[in-house]
Amino acid sequence: MDRTKKNIFELTNCSLRQYKEREKLPLSVMTDNVRSMYNIGAIFRTADAFLIKEVILAGISGCPPHPEITKTALGAEESVDWRHVDDAFEEVRRMHEEGWKICVLEQAHDSIPLQEFVPEKDCRYLLVAGNEVKGVDQRIVDIADVVLEIPQAGVKHSLNVSVSAGIAMWQFVSRFL
């Protein structure tokens, strides 16, 4: 058994051009008014790792180029497709009308524990992660197809938004594989 850590050459999967050409998962991630540029960068980095279709930055969510995004994204803001929209609710409504399944990551009554959610293979999904204090806009929660909640057993009642988004992205990836 060889447990020697991999070097940078062994960790390199593909070039930026090759990454752009790869087929992405039928999953987009929206940040609904996420304030922290570091959280935005971390979401980009995770989206790159999991071949997420695009990141949609909504409302006050910061956009590249920005030094704090770059610090945590480590260049993923260049590999992952992204766009900004002013109004998260209107964009979610538009995507829903186009047939996207809307999944909100939120603590809400009648939510589904994340580990119990199984995405359908022939659907496109939009995962919405919300503001660090207020969460996802209630209007978006109200029109979502599903509300996903990460069960927690500790003293604290919430996780960092980029951590939550990363856990949820992994759940999708693990089910799509």
DSSP 110-146: T-EEGGG----TT--EEEEEEBTTTBS-HHHHHH-SE
Segment 120-171, tens digit of pLDDT: 989 999 999 999 999 999 999 999 999 999 999 999 999 999 999 999 999 9
Segment 42-55, tens digit of pLDDT: 999 999 999 999 99
Domain that holds residue 76: 22-176
User: pLDDT tier at 8 (50, 70, 90 boundaries)?
Assistant: confident
**Phi first, then psi: what are they for 46, rounded to 5°?**
-70, -40
Residue 16 lies in a domain: no
What's the predicted TM-score (pTM) here? 0.96
Residue 1 lies in a domain: no
Taking CA atoms, 9 is separated from 13, 14, 77, 80, 88, in Å, by 9, 10, 21, 21, 40
State how many domains the chain has. 1
Q: What is the CATH number of the domain that holds 128?
A: 3.40.1280.10
Residue 4 lies in a domain: no
